[in-house]
Chain A
Amino acid sequence: RKEVEQDPGPFNVPEGATVAFNCTYSNSASQSFFWYRQDCRKEPKLLMSVYSSGNEDGRFTAQLNRASQYISLLIRDSKLSDSATYLCGESGNTGKLIFGQGTTLQVKP
């Protein structure tokens, strides 16, 4: 089993739609979780850290479910500019940050 798994998609949604991605992780000792956004041929950029209590930033909400070992990202009112690849990452107490394959989102007019 891969350490971090994501559905690669692509997710094709119309503008204004709500879309959700999940990411599962296998390391029960994982301590920190992140969502990154990556545009084509660019470096990943931090979108959100994921806390046990959840985290919301405008149209974006991230949640952590430790019992089922997954994190989620919800995007409300999708914009064309949200089209990108979304990477989830987890790290434990060793300092390693492991990423999933990434989920591609295409928002259509």
Chain B
Amino acid sequence: NAGVTQTPKFRILKIGQSMTLQCAQDMNHNYMYWYRQDPGMGLKLIYYSVGAGITDKGEVPNGYNVSRSTTEDFPLRLELAAPSQTSVYFCASTYPGDGYTFGSGTRLTVV
């Protein structure tokens, strides 16, 4: 049981490049989330999903897209990377009302 797995762990992007951050969970959780955390700050919700085929915006969705074609996977897409998207990205999953399990994060730098 791996929990929540995020790949890659680190990435450097050039301005204007695109990439997909991968997130997979093996706990059969319906709910999945993407957060970003800037230095010294809390977690900001980007997008979340309450089940396959259903996604919704969080607090800071601009510049990102998501899809949820399976229960297990919830990839986050950056289409035109900007320096403001330099951050640590965390994926999480849960059953409603339970505590949330986080992945170990992806550290992204846009230069």
* Contacts of B30-87 to chain A: CB distance below 8 A: 31, 33, 35, 41-45, 48, 50, 56, 58-59
Majority SS at the chain B contact face: strand
| B residues in contact with A101, CB < 8 Å | 41-42
Interface 0/1 of B81-111, CB less than 8 Å to A: 0000000101010101111111111000000
| A residues in contact with B103, CB < 8 Å | 43
Chain A contact residues, CB within 8 Å of chain B: 6, 31-32, 34, 41-46, 49, 87, 89, 94-102
Complex CA gap A45/B102 in Å reads 7
Contact residues on B (Cβ < 8 Å of other chain), bracket: 20 to 34
A21 to chain B, nearest CB (A): 13
Q: Are A87 and B42 also in contact (CB < 8 A) when A34-B100, A95-B48, A97-B100 are? A: yes
Complex CA gap A102/B35 in Å reads 14
**Cross-chain contact A46 with B99 (CB below 8 angstroms):** yes
10 inter-chain pairs at a CB distance below 8 angstroms, sorted by A residue, are A34-B100, A44-B90, A44-B102, A87-B43, A96-B56, A97-B48, A97-B100, A99-B45, A100-B42, A102-B41
**Cross-chain contact A95 with B59 (CB below 8 angstroms):** no
| A residues in contact with B90, CB < 8 Å | 43-44
| B residues in contact with A96, CB < 8 Å | 45, 48, 56, 58
| B residues in contact with A34, CB < 8 Å | 99-100
**Cross-chain contact B42 with A102 (CB below 8 angstroms):** yes
Interface 0/1 of B2-41, CB less than 8 Å to A: 0000000000000000000000000000010101000001
Residue among A6, A46, A100 making CB contact with B100, cutoff 8 Å: A46
| A residues in contact with B41, CB < 8 Å | 101-102
Complex CA gap A101/B40 in Å reads 8
Complex CA gap A87/B101 in Å reads 14
